[in-house]
Structure 1
Amino acid sequence: MTKNAQRLSQVISTFGPGAMVDLPTRSVVIGGLELWDMRSGSFSPIPEPRLVARLEKFLKDQNRLPQTTNLSLRTPPVDHGRPGQMPSCVAAPVFPAWFVCDQVESTGGGLRRRRLVRWQDLDTAGGRRRFVFDDGKKSDTTPIRFVCACKNGHMQDIEWRWLLHRSEPCHNPMWIEEKGTSADADDLEVVCGCGKRLAMRQLFIAGLLGDCRGERPWLLDRDPNGCNQPLKLLTRTATNTYFPQVDTVISLPSAEDELTKLVESLSGELANVQSVSDVAPAKRFNSKIKAALDSYPDEEIFARLVRIREGAVAESGGSAKPAEFDMFASGRAEIGQNAPTAKLYAQTLPRATWLDPDSGLDLSSIKSVVAVHRLRAVSCLYGFTRFEAAPTSSDGELEDVGLAVHGAPISQGADWLPAIEQFGEGLFIHFDEAAIAGWLAKTETRARHDLLHEGYLNWRKKFAKPPKYPGTAYTLLHSLAHALMTEIALDCGYPSSSLKERVYALHGTDGAPERCGILIYTATAGAQGTLGGLVGTAPRFSRILAGALDRARVCSNDPVCADHEPDDHGGDRATHGAACHGCLLIAETSCEMRNTFLDRNLLVETMSPQCSPFFCFES
């Protein structure tokens, strides 16, 4: 099991607690936080007071965290590979517990069948890799492809004997019978030695699998609140088995003295310090705190800690985006410090540096371009869903999802959450809010807004608590961010999947655009960040933007793509105008809205008669 390794970023995203992972001989489910080996030295606390205060307030408001508990962020356990020491790990229980033998038995008529066996029936001498038949022959096994789950996130094995026999007792062997070569559910049947059989396609019938028992195999228990939701068929390797809920903030610089910077960097280690008297024991028992703060009085250390926490709490009532936007759009020539240990360092570029008069574009609507030489992004996993991804808020507000997502917690009561910090670079574009407001007031834009809003009203029906409509200004900036990321990837050499977006389309109390901007960034877990290729595109920004917009004029799927109207479609297509995989859709790991709310008819003139382009090429 020591060779089965995951990257830190995977453990808080694709393969977090409750997710299934295929190993060479079996399938496992990543264990909850109590099953993580968090011995001393196996993890590092992550200081990010803004994110901690934000999540702590949210979870306490949702009654998912005791009011007296102080939340902290930690990295997943890291195996340092030290000889003679047990590796740090995340326990992963075996799931599902039903297996199919690889040995095929021919039954004639073009049918083949394979024995269906349980985990406890496998040969322990071989590490439970093989099943021993009655005649002594052995066969390798594969985890069965099908399990079941409910909308509350609970998950369990399918009760195959109960499906075939209901209340009738039977101990005959069972097989999975196949015809054809597609392995589709239409070509599979479950067959018992007593003669009873069930077509696999019938498992899609509502109610056939029975009611949920509240099983939580990643926590090794059952939900104490119980569950009576109907079970639904879930393919083990399907993408809808697990949707992580991750919150990300961009770390902002602290314009304080050296002591404040030291305390802020150690705020994760100081999470349990609640009074001046707690500072001395923290120094005594934590060598890192002692080395950094031993020369400072306890009273001053605690005063700085209180000031940092109060500032974070002041921001915790809402989105993290306004503070980030205000920092990037401040207009200061230098933002942060140009130092290896700095959390953020950026430069607002002179207009002559990035504006190319020969680009053919009117760029008066762009106020400034900021080259972000160094940034730190902290991402924290705080829940997950199954079957459907929870809706994402465009303004950065947390969804109504916490340590428990519809009854599917990632822990039984931990006072910490898993997080990672990544370092990288970026490019921030600040738009003139007055120019966007004037564009929104145009008759053509209002007509396009009505179409997009109708699509949103259709899309929101599938959610019990739907997110707010992000607004046409958000759709404009979101579409531009996708077009820019594709063009930047062609120019700077980074793969497009390594780029990420952060769209700022924040409205004031009167509904008018108040903060409008785009941050395109890339970040890695390495302490030194990335190589500067993204920042290097800043002087060529005008030409990159012109290329992105020119490419958006025509899609390989036109005229179908350009003429797409969202109002009468279902699923995520109801949020799209002119957008498809041929033009605006990108890797979902790069998009903050899971590829929803996109329309290139808002960017430039396409072949659709219903355009309302924000950008115009000069004739």
Structure 2
Amino acid sequence: MTKNSQRLSQLISTFGPGSMIDLPTRSVIVAGLEWWDMRGNSFTTIPEPRLTMRLEQLLKEQGRLDPEVHLSLRTPPVSNELGHGAPQGVAAPVFPTWFVCEQVETGSGPNSSLRRRRLVRWQDLDTKGRRKFVFDDGRKSEVTPIRFVCACEKGHMQDIDWRWVVHGAVQCHEPMWIEEKGTSADPADTSVVCGCERRLSLQDAFQPGRLGKCRGERPWLMDRDPEGCGDNLKLLTRTATNTYFPQVYTVISLPAEEDELSRLVDELSGDLAGVQTVDDVAQAKKFNPRVSASLGAYSNSDIFDRLKRIRDGARVDASKSPKLSEFDVFACGIAEIGTNSASAKLYAQTLPRSVWEDTSAGIDLSSIKGLVAVHRLREVSCLYGFTRFEAAPTSADGDIEDIQLAVRGAPISRHADWLPAIEQFGEGLFVHFDEKAVAPWLQETDVAARQGKLINGYEHWQRRFSGGAPTYPGTAYTLLHSLSHALMAEIALDCGYPASSLKERIYALSDSRTGTVPERCGVLIYTATPGAQGTLGGLVAAGSRFTRILKGALDRLKVCSNDPVCADHEPDGRSGDRATHGAACHGCLLIAETSCEMRNLFLDRSLLVPTMGGHGANFFD
């Protein structure tokens, strides 16, 4: 049997529970956490107290996690490469269960342009691998999964009941076909036809309520929602990008080691997740070989004391946005942040201004307070839910607007006390902006006028979200976000990294979350990829060339290949997500969405440099 495998990062981002995957002979849906094979050594526990405590706190507040349960983070199961025993993995039941025969039946005469293919169920296929359908006359035909399923906005999904959709309450057992005409992809040219002459055009299937009411089916959990549903079902193309939007919470690990014992306890905090007393430490030593090997020489009381300190610190951090703690560490001004060791979670150096500032470049760098070369960082990403049809809005401060195991009714497990997560290592550059330079810029007349237009576009955009959109991130966020995208494109050209291997974290933060003037301003551009692209040192080495990189990035933004259309674009209510944009397009600021923390929203290069639009709101001359 062909081995079907995915990378660990894909199970957290693209193909988590509830997503569909195309295999050579069928389509499957990734099952919930109860059907992940977590036996033996197939997984590892990821220690990240800040993330664990934050998720646990919010889950318990919403009643999604039992108050007595302590959440843990685990990697997805890894298959046994040695081939001993059954391979570990993730269950994936067949979905959808309707298939279309590949053998085409063409019409004759005036209907010669019609093409018909038989519509069959999974149980109708031959029993040997279920790859073919056998017609009544003995002919065999390969089959492919049907392209269409139906779902509701709560994330429930099910097969379309084609017989009911075509016939209504009338019982009929005649064969059914998918009938196509012409060469376009117009839904009006595709119909579902029954042998009794009844038919349904796919164009009609888009009508509200035409596919019936949702029954709350959750094929990835192999059950129905106990709370039911009843919403109108919507037609969904199986391979479309709007079938699955993962909700991933990401933090950058911070140094927390006081001494050797604290470092060891911090590394094993995932294995010690169930430890609540000193006696529990003794049990962990007895039954967990990793704990025994690393902490066997230390007393149980000392171990528990260090564990309690780490948890108390994580609880304090859990009460606020993770970005606040990250910014305070990067912007502390200390020459060396963390320890320079292979096991360190974070090691960075605050570069002297003489290293990166080039006064001959002809650019004013007085608004930049400092540059930090991050030699080693650890990123932990955790999947906690998903949505369908449209992605859930993201908060600009890195926190979660609506954190739960069921995002809009789409749980990844029935009763989960753990969440899937991955850790990735990389390097980065942190740029600290002077908040005292950003504040007066926001008060300028032209900037205030531009801000009014951006807010107007945001207000049009937020009406799309029935459950409430995130708060406006602020014009300072749009400024830093636009600069981050420009720097990523320029750094990719300078140091040779693929642009898609770079990521960003924007820090335009205020303690109150209500003020328009941020108290913390910075940008972290970093790599954290599963391969070796994040550990080559090219990004850190670019720190000494930062002035030239910044100047090149800004010069490229003055003229876009799509000008004057790009420069003249105004945020309004007629352009979907572009309502959050000013002068921004694929020719200048938009990047791969996997690299952007805000899905390419809230961008405007006219806030950075003068453009053909002549808005006069530019931060740099």
**1:421 maps to which of 420, 423, 426:** 423
Structure 1 residues 57-66 or 519-528, which shifts more? 519-528
Amino acid corresponding to residue 606 of structure 1 in structure 2: T
Residue of 361, 364, 370 corresponding to 1:362: 364
1:549 paired residue among 531, 554, 571: 554
Q: 1:512 aligns with which of 497, 500, 517?
A: 517
Of residues 268, 271, 293 in structure 2, which corresponds to 1:269?
Answer: 271
Residue 39 of structure 1 corresponds to 39
Name the SS of the counterpart of 1:120 in structure 2. Answer: helix
- Per-residue CA deviation, residues 550-571 of structure 1 (Å, 9 max, x unaligned), is 0011111111110111034342
In 1, distance between residues paired with 2:276 and 2:186?
59
* Corresponding residue for residue 142 of structure 1: 144
Give the Cα separation in 2 of the matches to 1:71 and 1:401: 14
2:476–2:517 contact (8 Å) kept in structure 1: no
Aligned partner (choices 120, 124, 134) of residue 121 of structure 1: 124
Whether 1:213 aligns to 2:237 is: no
1:491 match? 494
Structure 1 partner of 2:26: 26
1:579 pairs with one of 560, 579, 584: 584
1-structure distance, mates of 2:90, 2:604:
42
CA deviation digits over 1:564-615, x for unaligned, max 9? 1103434211100000111100000000000000000000001112131101
Separation in 1, partners of 2:422, 2:257: 24
Contact 1:31 1:92 in 2 (8 A): yes
What SS does the corresponding residue of 1:169 show, helix, strand or coil? coil
Q: CA contact under 8 A between 1:428 and 1:519: conserved in structure 2?
A: yes
- What CA RMSD, in Å, does the superposition of the two structures yield over aligned residues? 1.2
On the 8 A contact 1:460/1:466 being kept in 2, the answer is yes
Task: Report what 2:89 is aligned to.
Answer: 89
Q: 1:528 to 1:283 in 2, by over 3 A?
A: farther
Contact between 2:474 and 2:516, CA under 8 Å: does it hold in 1?
no
Which residue type is aligned with residue 525 of structure 1?
P
Query: Are the structure 2 counterparts of residues 582 and 526 from structure 1 closer, same or farther at C-alpha, using a change threshold of 3 Å?
Result: closer
Deviates more, 1:146-155 or 1:1-10: 1-10
Residue of structure 2 in register with 1:308 after alignment: 310
- Distance in 1, matches of 2:7 and 2:397, equals 29
Shift of 1:529: 5.1
Q: Distance in 1 between matches of 2:190 and 2:250?
A: 43
TM-score (norm 1): 0.98
**Equivalences for 1:304-453 in 2 at 5 Å?**
304-453=306-455
Residue of structure 2 in register with 1:281 after alignment: 283
Which 10-residue stretch deviates more, 149-158 or 196-205?
196-205
Q: 1:613 aligns with which of 614, 618, 621?
A: 618
Contact 2:527–2:533 under 8 Å retained in 1 = no
User: Could you tell me how far 1:530 is from its partner in structure 2?
Assistant: 1.2
Partner of 2:473: 470
> Whole-Å Cα distance in 1 between the matches of residues 222 and 371 of structure 2?
51
Q: Is contact 2:456-2:571 (8 Å) kept?
A: yes
Match of 2:192 in 1: 190
Report the Cα offset of residue 508 of structure 1.
4.1
- Structure 1: distance between partners of 2:232 and 2:32: 24
Alpha-carbon shift at residue 2 of structure 1 (Å): 5.7
CA distance in 2, matches of 1:507, 1:315: 15
Distance 2:531 2:56 in 1: 27
Determine whether 1:50 maps to 2:55: no
Inter-partner Cα distance in structure 2 for 1:585 and 1:263: 42
Q: Which residue type is aligned with residue 293 of structure 1?
A: L
Where structure 2 has 5 or more consecutive residues not aligned to the other structure, the ranges are none
Match of 1:234 in 2: 236
d(CA) in 1 for partners of 2:48 and 2:147?
40
Matches within 5 A, 1:532-543: 532-543=537-548
Matched, 1:65 2:80: no
Tell me, yes or no, if the aligned pair for 1:374 and 1:529 is still in contact at 8 Å.
no
Q: How many residue pairs were aligned?
A: 615
8 Å Cα contact 1:422-1:527 kept in structure 2: no
1:405-456 CA distances to partner (integer Å, 9 max, x unpaired)?
1111000001000000000000000000000001101111101100000011
Partners of 1:488 and 1:335 in 2: CA distance: 23
CA distance in structure 2 between the aligned counterparts of 1:94 and 1:502, rounded to whole angstroms: 38
Q: Which amino acid aligns with 1:373?
A: H
**8 Å Cα contact 2:479/2:603 also seen in 1:** yes
Contact 1:498 1:522 in 2 (8 A): yes
1:524 Cα deviation from its structure 2 partner: 2.4
Change (3 A) 1:269 1:528: farther
CA distance in 2, matches of 1:285, 1:609: 69
Q: CA deviation at 1:527?
A: 9.0
Q: Which amino acid aligns with 2:118?
A: R
Q: Please, which moves more after superposition, 590-599 or 272-281?
A: 272-281
User: 1:603 and 1:408 mapped to 2: Cα distance?
Assistant: 40
Residue 4 (structure 1) shift: 0.8
Cα deviation code 1:29-82 (max 9, x no counterpart): 010000100002000000000000011111111211111110000000011312
4+ residue segments displaced more than 6 Å: none
Deviations 1:2-40 (A, max 9, x none): 611100000001100000010111000010000100002
Query: Identity over aligned residues, as a percent?
Result: 69
Aligned pairs for 1:248-259 within 5 A: 248-259=250-261
Q: Is the 8 A contact 2:99 2:146 kept in 1?
A: yes
- TM-score w.r.t. structure 2 length? 0.98
Q: 1:314 to 1:527 in 2, by over 3 A?
A: farther
Q: Secondary structure at the match of 1:534?
A: helix
Post-superposition CA distance 1:495-529 (Å, at most 9, x none): 11110000000024454320000000001236995
* Cα distance in 1, alignment partners of residues 263 and 510 from structure 2: 33
8 A Cα contact 2:58 2:403, kept in partner: no
Shift of 1:235: 0.2
Q: Any gaps of 5 or more consecutive residues in structure 1?
A: none
Supply the distance in 1 between the matched residues of 2:376 and 2:2 (Cα, whole angstroms): 35
Q: Is the 8 A contact 1:16 1:244 kept in 2?
A: yes
